[in-house]
Amino acid sequence: MASSSSCTVSVMLVSALLLSFLMVASASNFYQDFDIIWGNNQTQILNNGELLTLSLDNSSGSGIQSKAAFLFGKIDMQIKLVTNNSSGTVTTYYLTSQGQYWDELDFEFLGNLSGQPYIVHTNVITQGKGNREEQFYLWFDPTADFHNYTFVWNPQYILFSVDGIPIRVFKNLESSGVPYPNKQFMKLCSTIWNGDVWATEGGRIKIDWSEAPFTASFRNFNTYPCVTSSGSSCSSNSPSSPSNNNTAWYSQDLDSTSQAKMKWVHDNYRIYNYCTDTKRFPNGFPAECTATNSS
């Protein structure tokens, strides 16, 4: 799970056929488009709703949740992570539904000692089943400035990107028996919380509360969701020929340039891939690891 405080969302079933849909770009205002779900005193919305800060101290963490729920979309957020000694802290940015068989897509940023790299922990949960972790170091200091973190979620695949560079893809392999998140609406959440039982060197290094408060900053949240004219979400039966850059995500394939960039990340910055962990899966890897069109 991406947070020690659950991010609540009403789960809706997708209609088999919808009359019409629009691809709508939406630039967020944190006042208008989010609810504070945890740690009111640790949450600040600044600059007329354009900037959000979430803080953690030894009394509480904090978190927000989008008012809107999505089924398929391109979702961007610029984030500046906790500076200096951030050991034991976890800053998250994720999509989630709810219920016993929930879906979830995770960016989790695991703090570390000053001068050591952050770990970006990603996961894909489908119908309540996760254990699909991949972890990466970043090729820049994510605490010095804002950087853009993106989900592309369409009927074909889920793509995680950093500053426009793909780092991970999870393809729709329902034909191989792998559940794919295409039936449950998800809301966007961001939180900061105490994860020192596991976050830094497996929990060996704890939070130094003398460094508190630990603060992460967020801005330029943009959504390009798939929605109908009535406000509900479109299904995979909807037309898939978007005509501009804001809607191309819905049907685009990973081109050779994107694949080359992702290979560069995997070769140089990926530090854990569940699909190569023989100790964890001694009886064989999950189906998506061995399917012919997996990456």
Residue 108 annotated among the catalytic residues of the structure: yes
Can you tell me the distance from the alpha carbon of 237 to that of 71, in angstroms, rounded to the nearest whole number? 13
| Region of residue 91 (left: phi > 0; alpha: psi -120 to 50; beta: else) | beta
Half-sphere exposure of 97 (CA within 13 A, CB side): 23
Angle, alpha carbons 239-245-249 (nearest 5°): 50
Tell me which residue of 143, 130, 44 sits closest to 91, measured CA to CA: 143
- Does the N-terminal peptide bond of residue 213 adopt cis geometry, omega within 30 degrees of 0? yes
* Beta bridge pairs of residue 106: 94, 123
Given 108, 133, 174, 201, the catalytic residue: 108
User: Strand runs (DSSP E) across 31-184, as ranges?
Assistant: 34-38, 43-46, 51-56, 62-70, 73-80, 89-96, 104-110, 119-125, 134-137, 147-153, 157-162, 165-171
Whole-angstrom Cα distance, residue 246 to residue 134? Answer: 28
Identify the active-site residue in 104, 134, 201, 288: 104
Using alpha carbons, select from 2, 61, 18 the residue that is nearest to residue 214.
61
Helix, strand, or coil here: 198?
coil
* Count of C-beta atoms within a 10 Å radius of residue 253: 9
DSSP per position, 109-140: EE--STTSPPEEEEEEEBTTB----EEEE-SS
> What's the CA angle centered on 218, arms 9 and 51, to 5 degrees?
105
Separation of alpha carbons 99 and 127, rounded Å = 9
Residues with active-site annotation: 104, 108
